[in-house]
Structures are given as structure tokens and as C-alpha cells.
Amino acid sequence: MDLRFEWARLGDLSAPAFHAAMVQREAVFIIEQKCIFPDADAYDLQCWHLLAWAGHDLAAYLRVTDPGSKYPEPSLGRVLTNPAYRGKGLGQLLLTEALVRCEQTWPAHANRIGAQHYLLKFYQGFGFEPVSDVYLEDDIPHIEMLRPAIAR
Ligand SMILES: CC(C)(COP(=O)(O)OP(=O)(O)OC[C@H]1O[C@@H](n2cnc3c(N)ncnc32)[C@H](O)[C@@H]1OP(=O)(O)O)[C@@H](O)C(=O)NCCC(=O)NCCS
């Protein structure tokens, strides 16, 4: 599948691109996960957004908050694959691209995430390790995970 990645601050995304991201985020994090909590928040205004386009479809998406924003480290979040594109390895490609972008944007920084617990092994595959007990966020079990900076 041909994927085109777009990495941009909100102000540099087109309105239709950000709309597509919000449509997928609502569909996944509110409706699919039956989680009646706000999805859009103030982090959207200043973070980086990573969009994976398959033609005109938004196939996968995540955002990255800056160091010192949500956590002292940069932090991946709102990781999703459009349900129509799941199980084809896009989650893997999205994470790989995001970690390359993070390394380019903030060289030699660790990355900290608040991961949904059911994806522990998925994130461990990218070098993240648990650094907290399991906790509830928006009624969903989460665990904080840290990926150390790559030694240079
Ligand atoms: C998690 C998600 C992004 C994976 O997307 P995907 O494109 O289907 O992922 P891939 O095909 O690249 O699969 C990667 C790995 O994800 C993990 N994974 C995917 N779905 C999973 C599930 N339901 N339960 C546990 N692990 C799962 C597996 O480790 C899988 O590797 P495997 O195929 O070798 O077992 C997607 O299922 C999704 O959008 N889920 C809902 C949103 C969400 O929970 N986001 C995470 C917030 S922390």
C-alpha cells in the first residue's frame, strides 16, 4: 500500500486534513472505545500531528507533544489506525515513522507515553518499557511507558 506521511503543527495542516484527523479520533476514541470524554484538547494547538494518507483516506494518525508539555519528554498519543485499514501493519509503520520524526526533531530525547494497557506488547516492540502501575484514565486501563534516548 502506498502511504504518504504528513508531519505538521496544527497551523501548517490544511483544514480538511485536520478535519479528517478529528473525524477518525472521534470515531475511534469516543465511539469505538465507548469513552465519553473530550478528545480535542489544548495539546492539539501546539503539538505535532502525524497523518498517514492512503490516497484521499486518512489511514492512520498520531500526535506528539513537545518536551515539557504533557511530560518532560516528547510523548506520542492518540495513536490510531482507521478501522478500515487495521491488521495490515500500518500501526507498525506509523510508530516507526513517528520515532524517526521524534529523533530528527528532538535528537537524543527519551519518549514517554500513557499507553492503553492492552497494547503493552506492541509498544514494548518499539523499546518502550513500563514505568508505572496500571491506572485508569477516562475509565480505560493505562500504563506509563518510557523509551530511553538512543545512545550516540
Ligand atoms: C492499536 C492500533 C493502532 C493498531 O493498528 P494496526 O494498524 O491494526 O496495527 P498493526 O497491523 O501494525 O499491528 C501491530 C500490532 O498491534 C498490536 N495490536 C493490534 N490490535 C491489537 C489488539 N486488539 N490487542 C492487542 N494488540 C493489538 C499487536 O501487537 C500487533 O502486532 P501483531 O500483528 O504482530 O500481533 C489499532 O488497533 C487502533 O487504532 N486501536 C484503537 C485505538 C487505540 O487503542 N490506540 C492506542 C492508544 S494508546
pLDDT of residue 30: 97
Cα–ligand 1 centroid distance for 122 (angstroms): 7
Any atom of ligand 1 within 6 Å of the Cβ of 87: yes
pLDDT score at 1? 85
Atom of ligand 1 nearest to the CA of 115: 48
Q: Tell me, using a 6 A CB cutoff, whether residue 121 lines ligand 1.
A: yes
Please indicate, yes or no, if residue 152 is contained in any of the structural domains.
no
Q: pTM, whole model, 2 decimals?
A: 0.97
**Can you give the residue range of the structural domain that contains 99?**
4-147
Instruction: Examine residue 128 and state whether it is found in any structural domain, yes or no.
Output: yes
The domain total for the chain is 1
**Do the domain assignments include residue 90?**
yes
The answer to the question of residue 29 being in a domain is yes
CATH of the domain at 127: 3.40.630.30
CA separation for the pair 137, 44 (Å, rounded): 18
Q: Does residue 35 fall inside a structural domain? A: yes
Find, among 99, 104, 100, the residue nearest to 147 by Cα: 99
Determine the Cα–Cα distance for residues 46 and 42; give it in Å rounded to an integer: 8
pLDDT in tens, the chain (152 residues): 899 999 999 999 999 999 999 999 999 999 999 999 999 999 999 999 999 999 999 999 999 999 999 999 999 999 999 999 999 999 999 999 999 999 999 999 999 999 999 999 999 999 999 999 999 999 999 999 999 997 66
The answer as to whether 33 is a domain residue is yes
Task: Give the span between the Cα atoms of 62 and 47, in whole angstroms.
Answer: 10
Specify the residue for cell string 484521499: 56
DSSP string, 8-77: EEGGGS-HHHHHHHHHHHIIIIIIITT--S----THHHHSEEEEEEETTEEEEEEEEEPTTTSSSS-EEE
